[in-house]
Structure 1
Amino acid sequence: MLALDVLAVLSAACWVVLALGRNLFWLPRPRLPRPGPEPPPGRWPALAVVVPARDEAALLPTTLPTLLHQDYPGRAVVVVVDDGSTDGTAEVARQLAAPPPPPDREPQDKERLACVVVRAGDRPAGWAGKVWALAEGAAQVPWATWLLFTDADIQHPPGSLRALVGLGESRGLDQVSVMARLEATGWSGRLLVPAFVYFFAMLYPFRTVTGRSVRRAAAAGGCLLVRRARLEAAGGLASVAGAVIDDVGLAKALARAGGRLWLGYDRGIRSVRPYPRLADLWAMVRRSAYAQLRWSPAALAGTVLAMALVFLVAPVAVVVGLLLPDTPAAVAGGLAWVIATLTFLPLVLEEGVAWPWALGLPLAAFLYLGMTLDSARQHRRGGPQWKGRALPGPAAPQRPPHAANDRPGR
């Protein structure tokens, strides 16, 4: 059992390093400051909110009104981009965008943001559907100083736009991104949703996403505010035209162009997309897991070995060590499991999940490892699909002439 003893000790050593290093990635994320009574210095800049929507008719009635009723004091518009939907997404968006009839006796509701609904043009070869929809939306609003890219399933609390732009203006940032709170329902959601955030934070510690470091650059695509001038300096959305993980790619492009970044969290910015079954979460992660490894078999093999050592050795060492018995393996494995659980616990509680689920981190890692392997298998069989559409692979995209600065080429 010497081999198991050595592996258990290595696993425990890895967890000591992870817990004390990686900028304490496991602590709660930086919070989005709420706007104060006074606006940031100077005039409120012009803002355009771009919402790519593909077959989102069921969710828009819940999410789009939370944008339309924002109290942003500057010029602002919401642009919903229908990305080839077949379920009447555009019609639903237009109905929601239409102002309600005036009431007979009650005072008028406060002014709503303007909203336009456009249909994305034919997608050029090599472009990911979402990125092209964002480019089409951004091309409609060349006057906007700030662009907020937010998914159709994201619900925004009152004051969200003021808080996002206010933070960007007051700190001189070029990116303000917020990881939305995901729905954690069912056993799979309670186990895997906090783990999703945990693994993301392990790869991209939130507190390191500051300044202009390309290596530390990251973003969460569900809520991503960018300064347009810096986006154009970075090559526009064409710089991530074919990216499956477009949010992190865009953050790195902004950082290379000298942009200052911020990544944090706000409890009120949340996704309303349900993931009631393990299969739903599995499909979401499988779509991009192998792309995260740059479609590299060597990186995949290294990831499998690393995750097995860090996450899976500990429970195996505890069980085998208690049954044989093998005290060194049980003690080292138990220490690794305890440290892992304690680092996972803050995010579990922050996501509103009961604390015993923190003990399940090894199982969550095992499932995510399966999703990653399945993502590689799917890639070898023709590439990932999302909402009935193939996603680009590692080949370089073909860019239309106007894509460099995202301005209309019509």
Structure 2
Amino acid sequence: MGQTARVSAIVWTVIPAVSLAAWLWLLLGQGFFWRTDVRLPPRRDPDEWPPVCVVVPARDEAAVLPSSLPSLLAQDYPGRAEVFLVDDHSGDGTGELARALARRHGGLPLTVTTPPGEPPAGWTGKLWAVRHGIALARARAPEYLLLTDADIAHAPDSLRTLVAAARGGGWDAVSQMARLRVASLWERLVVPAFVYFFAQLYPFRWVGRPGTRTAAAAGGCVLLRADAAERARVPDAIRHAVIDDVALARAVKCAGGRVWLGLADRVDSVRPYPRLSDLWRMVSRSAYAQLRHNPLLLLGTVAGLALVYLVPPAALIAGLAAGRTTAAALGALAWLVMTATYVPMLRYYRQPLWLAPLLPCTALLYLLMTVDSAVRHHRGRGAAWKGRTYARPDTVPDEG
């Protein structure tokens, strides 16, 4: 009976208490990840605007290009700037459409090019395209490279704001987390949480703090000093990284560079994810790569997600049903802290606050997506994206 009582105490008291303690630590000790006020500082225009080359890798992007490429071509940038769109062997006429959009809209000079052949072994398709684009751009001797995805729409002053921030702050890489599209029910449930979880893993304040090991970027919008890219051997050093934005930031920081990451105000993703299956593929293609394909890390992640996100509502509901007021109170407090930390992100995405208490449901979805990612990897399907499968991607920059 004594052993049964001890087990019962652990189940009804210790586990909910540990969950609450975890949330109090996340609230105060994880770089205030839940705050959404890390934005580019007010612009201070430099005396002279440096030359910039924009590199856009694109594979089968004809559906989104009309909503994104014209915004790049229309950049109001006082210095010399041009755009290199690398058509990665698309089958939907991406390259031809890009040229037609440039003729129709005018603006910055556009070069449409294609990388030589399929990616060699050990390269992801995107980074092989980026490598080709950067090689062409270097012939123009730019001071900065803007690496941006084909589904990202920029406000007219986006480029000058990024350059002014990089110059004024002495940053080698300035990255903005584009505001993702939130229109369908599933996007409302999953997308804000995606950014919330990312900020929890890589608190933006820690990314920009000198001397910290935390490094991350948002691949949709990265302004990178050209000499910093050379020192960090980008993209060659990260050629097999599926999560290439985090790998890029690590490479730059390891090479002595300074990295800034924050939320965007006027940089938006136009790619729709209307169905749960679309979002599921987006997350599961790289979730296990984030865990370095380590089964122990997978088990730890599943246990951690369950303890932090699933225990609070379970303790509250089960505690009330069983008359365990302590467990119910601990679960309620943990759920309340969790909900409160999610509110700023929902406000940033202009979403109704009644979604905040549903974060445990979303966390359960992410848990299942992560497990599915591991299952796909062990079945040999790896990270599949746009007709290519990367069986053993790597998220760590090559230090060799």
TM-score interval, smaller chain: over 0.9
Deviations 1:335-380 (A, max 9, x none): 0000000001110111111000011111111000000000000000
Check 1:133–1:175 CA distance in 2 against 1; reply closer, same or farther (3 A cut). Answer: same
Letter in 2 for 1:115: L
Equivalent residue for 1:386? 385
Check 1:396–1:223 CA distance in 2 against 1; reply closer, same or farther (3 A cut). Answer: closer
Name whichever of 20-29 and 207-216 sits farther off: 207-216
| 1:12–1:333 Cα contact (<8 Å) kept | yes
> What is the aligned counterpart of 1:119 among 106, 114, 138?
114
Equivalent residue for 1:294? 292
> What is the aligned counterpart of 1:368 among 345, 366, 369?
366
Report the TM-score when normalising by structure 1.
Answer: 0.91
Deviation at residue 18 of structure 1 after TM alignment: 0.8
| 1:28–1:350 Cα contact (<8 Å) kept | yes
> What is the aligned counterpart of 1:85 among 87, 90, 94?
90
State the distance in 1 between where 2:242 and 2:126 align.
9
Name whichever of 179-188 and 300-309 sits farther off: 179-188
Deviation at residue 35 of structure 1 after TM alignment: 3.5
Q: Which runs of 5+ in 2 are unaligned?
A: 1-7
| 1:312–1:362 Cα contact (<8 Å) kept | yes
> What is the aligned counterpart of 2:337 among 306, 323, 339?
339
State the distance in 2 between where 1:126 and 1:226 align.
23
Deviation at residue 186 of structure 1 after TM alignment: 2.2
Deviation at residue 396 of structure 1 after TM alignment: 11
Letter in 1 for 2:56: V
| 1:126–1:392 Cα contact (<8 Å) kept | no
Equivalent residue for 2:102? 97
Check 1:396–1:63 CA distance in 2 against 1; reply closer, same or farther (3 A cut). Answer: closer
Check 1:328–1:187 CA distance in 2 against 1; reply closer, same or farther (3 A cut). Answer: same
State the distance in 2 between where 1:178 and 1:323 align.
46
Greater RCO, CA 8 A, separation 6+ = 1
Letter in 1 for 2:20: A
Equivalent residue for 2:54? 49
Check 1:288–1:218 CA distance in 2 against 1; reply closer, same or farther (3 A cut). Answer: same
| 1:127–1:392 Cα contact (<8 Å) kept | no
Equivalent residue for 1:181? 179
| 1:240–1:249 Cα contact (<8 Å) kept | yes
| 1:209–1:263 Cα contact (<8 Å) kept | yes
| 2:153–2:267 Cα contact (<8 Å) kept | yes
Listed as ranges, the matches of 1:17-28 within 5 Å are 17-28=25-36
| 2:377–2:391 Cα contact (<8 Å) kept | no
| 1:126–1:396 Cα contact (<8 Å) kept | no
Equivalent residue for 1:134? 130
Deviation at residue 26 of structure 1 after TM alignment: 0.3
Equivalent residue for 2:198? 200
State the distance in 2 between where 1:212 and 1:375 align.
33
Deviations 1:266-318 (A, max 9, x none): 22101010011111111000011000000100100110111111110011111
Equivalent residue for 1:408? none
Letter in 2 for 1:334: A
Q: Which runs of 5+ in 1 are unaligned?
A: 101-110, 405-410
Equivalent residue for 2:189? 191
Check 1:214–1:387 CA distance in 2 against 1; reply closer, same or farther (3 A cut). Answer: farther
SS in 1 for 2:63: coil
SS in 2 for 1:390: strand
Letter in 2 for 1:249: A
| 2:143–2:227 Cα contact (<8 Å) kept | yes
SS in 2 for 1:124: coil
Letter in 1 for 2:70: P
> What is the aligned counterpart of 1:74 among 75, 79, 98?
79
| 2:46–2:164 Cα contact (<8 Å) kept | yes
Deviation at residue 395 of structure 1 after TM alignment: 7.0
> What is the aligned counterpart of 1:354 among 352, 357, 362?
352
**Length, aligned pairs only:** 386
Letter in 2 for 1:19: L
| 2:285–2:373 Cα contact (<8 Å) kept | yes
Equivalent residue for 1:216? 214
Deviation at residue 236 of structure 1 after TM alignment: 2.4
State the distance in 1 between where 2:113 and 2:12 align.
60
State the distance in 2 between where 1:119 and 1:333 align.
55
Q: Quick one: percent identity of the two aligned structures?
A: 51
Listed as ranges, the matches of 1:238-249 within 5 Å are 238-249=236-247
Equivalent residue for 2:143? 145
Report the TM-score when normalising by structure 2.
Answer: 0.93
Name whichever of 375-384 and 179-188 sits farther off: 179-188
Equivalent residue for 1:40? 46
Check 1:257–1:212 CA distance in 2 against 1; reply closer, same or farther (3 A cut). Answer: farther
